[in-house]
Amino acid sequence: MLARLLRYAALILLATASAAHAQQAPLKIVVGFSPGGGVDTLARLLAQHLGTPLGRTVLVENRPGAGGTIAADTVRRAAPDGNTVLLADTSLLVAPYIYPDLPYRLERDFVPVAMVGEAGLALAVAAANPARDLPQLIAQARQAPGRLTYATVGMGSMHHLGGELFKTMSATDLVHVPYKGGSPAVQALAGDQVSVAISSLPAVMPLAASGRIRILAVLSAQRFAGLPDVPTVAETLPGFETTPSLFLLAPAGTPPAALAALQQALPGVLADATLRQTFVAQGSEVRYQPADALAQWLPTQQKRWGDLIARTQLDFRQ
């Protein structure tokens, strides 16, 4: 009897020690983009601010490639213990249409943690372009269907889908020119090699400040806090919005209790004035939504972009 009680006591001590170790284990935020990029920078900012309220180390791990799907699969295969989360953007919702043989399904293999922000996109023209605003550019495009080109970071990106949505809603015919990255795309615009660029705000703002290009509009639903005088596309085309939102996902099967501390810390962290100012400096804005709101948002956005892809008959095999 005594031996059995001692064995039970040992098991309880072992379980307690394992739980304490799990609580002290680092929180790993996995991102699907290279170090130094926009999502990576914001992930490291979050990690920096989360460490103190969580009372644990927060690390960022980069698993770049295939539109964030490599990182997603990494998190899918992680232990569902609350120690690994994925910081993804809206491009992950488009990925199933580009890579039909993905080894995971978002609705089956992940649980929502929270939405944390959105990254701004802009529509810009070269300084020499006579269009001073978006209505003038639309008129210009309608007068020369198929003549104007627009540059983006690549096929299937949110920049590309934003361009296709713009074409649909403005009844214009612009030709997509994909580049391998935001810098080559905006440099091509500055060199007058393309008519328009749809790019991240950090990529276009320095060239706009130097007068080499002109930002006509931002693609978000509201004006960007860092460029309050620049209108939205929606002010010309009501209902238009293309914004790569940033959100956290955890592996399916993660107990709510394992995520509770992170979810409780996020609203306060995201309300921090310094963090919010840094987001804006990076061309992004804080947009917090709790897990239940994110759970409703994910399938509606995936359907929204899937419908656009079907309607415009986009072929990503190019």
Interval 217-270: pLDDT, tens: 999 999 999 999 999 999 999 999 999 999 999 999 999 999 999 999 999 999
Counted residue by residue, the chain has a size of 318
What are the tokens at 248?
């956290």
**pLDDT confidence band for 315 (50 / 70 / 90):** confident
Where are the CATH 3.40.190.10 domain residues in the chain?
A: 121-242
Which pTM does this prediction carry? Answer: 0.88
Distance of CA 274 to the CA centre of its chain: 21
Q: What is the mean pLDDT of the chain?
A: 92
> Class for domain 121-242, per CATH?
alpha beta
What are the tokens at 317?
């095999």
Domain 25-118+244-311 has CATH 3.20.20.70: no
Cβ-based neighbours of 285, under 8 Å, separated by 6 or more? 117, 118, 120, 220, 224, 225, 276, 279
Where are the CATH 3.40.190.150 domain residues in the chain?
A: 25-118+244-311
- Mean pLDDT, residues 31-57: 93
